A and B are shown apart, each in its own frame.
Chain A
Amino acid sequence: MKDLRVERDVQTETNKIEARGVQVFYGTNHAIKDVDVDILDKTVTAFIGPSGCGKSTFLRCLNRMNDTVASARVEGKILLENEDIYDARVDPVQLRAKVGMVFQKPNPFPKSIYDNVAYGPRIHGLTRNKSELDEIVEKSLRRAALWNEVKDRLHAGGTGLSGGQQQRLCIARAIATSPEVLLMDEPCSALDPIATAQVEELIDELRTDYSVVIVTHSMQQAARVSQRTAFFHLGNLVEYGETGQIFTNPKDPRTESYISGRIG
């Protein structure tokens, strides 16, 4: 499969998210240990590592999805454009409109395709009237490369689409609220290879507007879509840098073991 990275330049070096000394506890289990990381704007950042290494947990800290788990406790600072998202004044609901999320398994609501995409704009009050909403829905579906496939059946159920289409619908749903960051938790793990390729291509396109953070268990995928890669192991951030450097010239022996398939 071709390397998508060469087609677009890395546009920016400005930091979108800065995480400092992040610790996560599930009850007594110390899931994330003192992680510092900077996520760049308009860049795809991949989190890789063996299962249970904490990469998904850390991802879920970035839009405070861990708040919905009663036993989870987060310490440290995560700054989104220099504002601490764990500040007491921050409403996680408002945060999540800025930091959208796409999940491992496609989870469209049991509503029509249109209503799925319109859900976010409606609750966040992004539109004044129906035509504006129509516009957002169309734009989002186009952005998610789904418009041509569904434009004739916008009011059919979202659950009737194929797996890859469902996942792209979920991406459209997430970008309809015009977020600044998109978090993707193994977005292709439930898809077949062709659908995976489509979604990967889409992720690369999204980089022009958003900062994308993707968790993946596939190193090939990380190599294909991301510009920066972070390797997690046992709750620690072992190594973080340019994707090419991580895969060709890892500094830490643990990264090398993982890349070469000795641990995982």
Chain B
Amino acid sequence: MSVFMLLVVIAVLALVGFVIGRQRALASAAGNIKEMHSLPLYYGWHGALMVIVPSLFALTFWLVIQPLVIERQLVGYFPPEVVESSAARTLAMADVRRVAEGLDIAIAQGAMTEVQADMVRTEFGSVRDRLADVGVALGAEVTPQILTAAQDYRKYAVVGNIGRSILTFLVALAGLIYAIRITNKDFRARNRVEQVIMALLSLSSTVAILTTVGIVLSLVGESLRFFTMYPWQDFFFSLTWSPNFQGGSDLGLAPLLWGTIYISFVSIIVAAPIGLFSAIYLAEYASPRVRSVVKPAIEVIAGIPTVVFGLFALVTLGPILRDWIAEPTGWGNSGSSVMTAGLVIGILNIPFVSSLADDVINAVPQAMRDGSYGIGATKSETIRLVILPAALPGIVGGMLLALSRAIGETMIVTMGAGAAAKLDLNPFEAMTTITVKIVSQLTGDTEFDSPETLVAFALGMTLFVLTLGLNVVALYIVRKYREQYE
């Protein structure tokens, strides 16, 4: 029975639970609602929840556990060196699953019978070709071990799927019977339903923690594996980046970190004054009419996907900078450059800086402005000498957040900064960033047991720590600032 069918069965049983629960409660009170502890609806919901909640938990549990159990069963087929390395094991299991799926498809299309699928041997001809005929492309020829493992996988999967269906069904049924037995007019159905709802709500709120845990685990786990293959000193202190998938790579962080910082710096140089001055204008000078038109218009920039900015950098701004500035001055001949990416990220960050600055400027109390106007200061003097100094911590916090966004930006640098890792000061040279290299090391054909691929996780870790640190500092500053005026 497929998972979808199981869900349908659960839904049907839940409906049954709803109807019976409601009617039993009504019957035990002889139809008199006043005699019942809760409204009839709650008895119905209780019946339904008792079916749905435990059975869905059982199903999820089974779906997570089954692949792990099957993998443990199949480990015997793999050579020892594969069993040792978790990455190789993951890859081997992926092959097994792929072949097993291929056999399933072959049977579904009638190219094989069940028996044939079990009997196929690599000795009698290429399994790869036979599967290719039914549209399943395999990367390499199937080894006898993988094939036997795949055939066993199918058997276990069949058993597992039957077990899954039976378990889920039994749990759902047990919930239904429990709900029916417990339901009578004195049962506190509303309290029970509310308890279950509360439990589900609080469970949902943990998803934020689970995500963080997932991020940290995936970054730390793979980074540690990377550092077992590649010395950490070289990663952090080597000045060259030249990955080589044949081995002997230099994977130094420095050129990537430099590119990242340089580009973010250029972007802040663009975003900070423009964002700040537009915020000042909107907050202090603009009439409400102008403000109500211009503010949303600037925020449109924030709503445009970054890939659009990336294309703009690649197709329009890059060539303009190259043809009009870099080549005439002899500074460079590349359309992708620190300048291109930095300018475009700066533009992207204008609305971000501007709306944060707008917030902090508006948080400065009106009394400050009155005090300044009252002794004859002009608007610009008031802004420059009173409001900006008062709002400074908030503005600094906002700049740090913008910096953190620039550091984590991916598409604009991937399309506009270039791929060459170098330590250079010339802003019209192509340079590269941490995020660009994460993308390039993890896309295409990747093997998860080479340092050249795994370095992406160490880069991700660096990026995560960097941006998280900036955010924590920035949020702390902004909060301190807000408290000052509350």
Contact = CB atoms under 8 A, between A and B. Distances in A.
Interface string A67-93: 010100000000000000000000001
Interface string B98-117: 00000000000000000000
Contacts of A95: 376
B374 A100 contact: yes
Contacts of B369: 68
A109 B371 CA distance: 8
B29 to A, nearest CB: 61
Contact of A123 (B287, B376, B390): B376
A65 interface: yes
B367 interface: yes
A103 interface: yes
A101 B377 CA distance: 12
A174 interface: yes
B416 to A, nearest CB: 41
A111 B287 CA distance: 30
Given A65-B370, A105-B367, A100 B389 contact: no
A120 interface: yes
A93 B378 contact: yes
Nearest to B387: A109
Nearest to A110: B390
A119 interface: yes
Contacts of B365: 107
A63 B373 CA distance: 10
A213 interface: no
Contact of A97 (B370, B375, B390): B375
Contacts of A103: 367, 370-371, 374
Interface in A143-171: 170
Contacts of A176: 375
B375 A177 contact: yes
Contacts of B375: 96-97, 100-101, 119-120, 173-174, 176-177, 179
Contacts of A107: 365, 367-368, 370-371
A129 B373 CA distance: 24
Contacts of A46: none
A70 B385 CA distance: 23
A102 interface: yes
Given A70-B287, A110-B390, A97 B376 contact: yes
Contact of B373 (A96, A177, A183): A96
A123 B385 contact: yes
Nearest to B288: A70
Nearest to A108: B371
A227 B21 CA distance: 85
Interface string B374-392: 1111100100011001100
Interface residues of A, number: 31
A94 interface: yes
B127 to A, nearest CB: 77
A121 B438 CA distance: 57
B374 A109 contact: no
Given A70-B288, A107-B370, A120 B385 contact: no
Contact of A94 (B367, B368, B376, B386): B376
B372 interface: yes
B481 to A, nearest CB: 11
A172 to B, nearest CB: 11
Given A70-B288, A105-B367, A109-B390, A123 B373 contact: no
A144 to B, nearest CB: 13
Contact of B374 (A70, A96, A108, A124): A96
Contacts of B288: 70
Given A70-B288, A109-B386, A110-B390, A174 B368 contact: no
A108 B374 CA distance: 12
A149 B378 CA distance: 31
Contacts of B372: 109, 119
Nearest to B371: A107
Contacts of B389: 109-111
Given A102-B374, A174-B374, A109 B381 contact: no
Contacts of A179: 375
A103 B367 CA distance: 8
B59 to A, nearest CB: 60
A119 B374 contact: no
A123 B377 contact: yes
Contacts of A97: 375-376
A65 B374 contact: yes
Given A109-B390, A123-B381, A177 B376 contact: yes
Interface in B252-300: 287-288
A170 B375 CA distance: 10
A170 B386 CA distance: 14
A63 B377 CA distance: 12
Contacts of A119: 372, 375, 377, 385-386
Contacts of A102: 374
Interface of A: 63, 65, 68, 70, 93-98, 100-103, 105, 107-111, 119-120, 123-124, 170, 173-174, 176-177, 179, 183
13 contacts: A68-B369, A68-B370, A70-B287, A95-B376, A96-B374, A100-B375, A103-B371, A107-B365, A109-B371, A110-B390, A119-B375, A120-B377, A179-B375
Q: Which 5 pairs of residues, A with B, have the shortest CB-CB distance?
A: A101-B374, A96-B376, A97-B376, A107-B367, A107-B371
Interface of B: 287-288, 365, 367-378, 381, 385-386, 389-390
Given A96-B373, A110-B390, A123-B385, 18 more contacts: A68-B369, A70-B288, A93-B376, A96-B376, A100-B374, A101-B370, A107-B365, A107-B368, A111-B389, A119-B375, A119-B385, A119-B386, A120-B375, A120-B376, A120-B377, A124-B376, A174-B374, A183-B374
